[in-house]
Amino acid sequence: MLNRRNFLTAAVGVVAAAGLTACAKEDDSSTGTDSAGGGSKKITLGFSQVGSESGWRSANTDSVKSAAEEAGYTLKFSDAQQKQENQISAIRSYIAQKVDVIAFSPVVVTGWDAVLKEAKTAKIPVILTDRSVETSDESLYVTLVGSDFTDEGRRAAKILEKVLETAGHKGKVKIAQLEGTTGAAPAIERAKGFKEIMDAEHKDDWEIVVSQTGDFTRAGGKQVMAAFLQSNPDVNVLYAHNDDMGIGAIQAIEAAGKKPGKDILIVTVDGVKDGFVAMSEGKINAIVECNPLLGPQLMEVVQTVHDGGSVERWIKTKESDFLQAQAKEALPTRKY
């Protein structure tokens, strides 16, 4: 649900499943165009991205860049290469440059209080994108534009139920879990949501027998899955926190002489192109969609914050629009 602190994107969470009735280096650069207003001062936005570890992340970066250009903002962009110290350095650089607004997608959940206090002292508002943080003072940031990762985990568990039923699986479900980056919000929350359903509804027949981070990368997914198959050759389900790790795992599964999607049923999260290709080939059984196109919503929040408007009012307006669209069935389930 939407609230004052968080705007959860309306398009997140569509489930797609194969074989079912598918519902279904630090780079710091500046880009921008003249403001549509002609003579008004352009907003300067400092944006620090996690990295470029996956297809989802690349799409998210493209969305932010194109939305900033369309809005006429000057964008100062930095790629943290999945290192928190790089991101903190970038944020401090934005503070020194006196940008109008700072936005960032946090590498990990903790360790942000000091730099956020510096931004607050400089009177530069901070917006979180995609991922949340844990802080001693929530006034250190304005809001979060992102996804409900816990619910994505729940949906992954629920779609696994359908995958198992369709596959005619009988007996113990032995699950290997490929986690996202240790300490990152999606890794924590996707694991939490999945386990919540598993413990409540499948305590006796489902078990996560092995779980380890693959850092949201294909290379990590391949390496860790190969190790999983050595230590636990009887796993029959893989739950990967993103498509890229799942695609990497497919390579390890095939190298071990097993058939992905049959010998080992696979559920992933994201919905990138290569993930759907693997699903069309029967190698991934189901994908829980997480929409990366946050750029336009982020730019709306940036404008609202810069103009001194009420983010709470903006969120309520968006929630009302979404609920009205649902009532009119204007947001149909996408089929793949």
Per-residue model confidence as pLDDT tens digits over 170-195: 999 999 999 999 999 999 999 999 99
Instruction: Say how far apart CA 212 and CA 221 lie, in whole Å.
Output: 10
248 Cα distance to chain centroid: 18
CB 273 within 8 A of CB 219: no
pLDDT of residue 226: 98
Task: Tell me: pLDDT of 86 over 90.
Answer: yes
Strand 6-8's sheet: what is its strand order?
6-8, 143-146, 126-130, 101-104, 44-49, 74-79, 29-31
pLDDT of residue 276: 95
Instruction: Say how far apart CA 295 and CA 291 lie, in whole Å.
Output: 11
Write down the pTM of the prediction: 0.80
E strands present in the chain: 6-8, 15-17, 29-31, 44-49, 74-79, 101-104, 126-130, 143-146, 173-179, 206-213, 237-240, 265-270, 286-289
pLDDT of residue 318: 62
What are the φ and ψ backbone dihedral angles of 61, each rounded to 5 degrees?
A: -60, -45
pLDDT of residue 147: 87
Task: Tell me: pLDDT of 26 over 70.
Answer: no
pLDDT of residue 139: 92
pLDDT of residue 41: 74
Task: Tell me: pLDDT of 55 over 50.
Answer: yes
> Higher confidence at residue 127 or residue 4?
127
CB 58 within 8 A of CB 115: no
Task: Tell me: pLDDT of 7 over 70.
Answer: no
- Give the range among 134-143, 185-194, 256-265 with minimum mean pLDDT: 134-143
CB 106 within 8 A of CB 145: no
Helix, strand or coil for residue 321? helix
User: What is the C-alpha R_g of the chain?
Assistant: 21
What are the φ and ψ backbone dihedral angles of 78, each rounded to 5 degrees?
A: -140, 135
Cross-strand pairs, 240 = 178
pLDDT band at 324 (very low <50, low <70, confident <90, very high): low
List CB contacts of 60: < 8 A, sequence separation 6 or more: 49, 105, 130, 292, 293, 294, 295
Task: Tell me: pLDDT of 327 over 80.
Answer: no
pLDDT of residue 206: 98
Helix, strand or coil for residue 258? coil
Task: Tell me: pLDDT of 144 over 60.
Answer: yes
Across the range 148-162, mean pLDDT stands at 96
Instruction: Say how far apart CA 250 and CA 85 lie, in whole Å.
Output: 32
Across the range 265-280, mean pLDDT stands at 96
